[in-house]
Amino acid sequence: MRHARAGKKLGRDSAHRKALYSNLAGALIEHGRIRTTVTKAKAVKPYAEQMITLGRRGDLHARRQATAFLRSRDVVHKLFADVAPLFKDRPGGYTRIVKIGPRPGDAAEMAYLELVDEEYVAREREARTPEPAIVPEVPVEATEELPETDAELGEDPEAAGDVLAAEDEVDAPAAEVADEAAAAEPGGEEPSASGDKA
């Protein structure tokens, strides 16, 4: 029996586990919401709330304690400048866990760990979402396409006349080539190309 069971081990040694908590809490402060497993969310939630409490205190010692845990001055600055003022009148319960179902790969139960301030979460998501690329419109020249099937020809008599005229133009060069070939046959009026004299 394990006495004094303090927190989950999560299959990691203590240094790896401490780095995991630091990274997850920093990501939560930076983005307002993270998606992780339910077990990790439950394990990191007290640490994240402790960081927000330090941010509410706002003094130099609290800033140094937060920097020692989060290991990033940018995240600590965001915690003290943006996140902590949102919860200045709230005496705790800064985060919530929302279960979202199993993960497709290994069926691990997944959840969102998010701050309870919806406006901040929405603002951070909008800031991360890339703007759609604007493609300049290229004017397309209007071209009338001729119908290809007999059913389409039957529906539009004018188009049928255009198609027949186009087919006649295609057939006309073939007829001219056939006439030239008949004239070049022996017994025709054209002299032979070999230049032999009879």
pLDDT tens string, the chain, 198 residues long: the values are: 878 777 889 999 999 999 999 999 999 999 999 999 999 999 999 999 999 999 999 999 999 999 999 999 999 999 999 999 999 999 999 999 999 999 999 999 999 999 998 888 888 888 888 878 787 776 656 555 655 666 555 555 555 556 556 555 555 555 565 566 666 666 555 555 555 554
Using alpha carbons only, give the angle 160, 162, 168 rounded to the nearest 5 degrees: 105
Q: What is the pTM of this model?
A: 0.64
Give the C-alpha separation, 60 to 172, whole Å. 93
Pairing relationship of beta strands 109-115 and 95-102 according to DSSP bridges: antiparallel
Cβ atoms 154, 148 nearer than 8 A: no
H or E segment to which residue 69 belongs? helix 60-70
Using CA atoms, how far apart are residues 47 and 134, in angstroms rounded to an integer?
42
Helix (H, G, I), strand (E, B) or coil at 97: strand
Query: For the stretch 29-45, what's the b/e string if a residue is b when 16 or more beta carbons lie within 10 angstroms of its beta carbon?
Result: bbbbbbebbeebbebbb
Q: What does the block give as tokens for 96?
A: 């919530």
53-110 pLDDT, tens per residue?
999 999 999 999 999 999 999 999 999 999 999 999 999 999 999 999 999 999 999 9
Return the pLDDT at 198: 47
The structure tokens listed for 47 are 């640490």
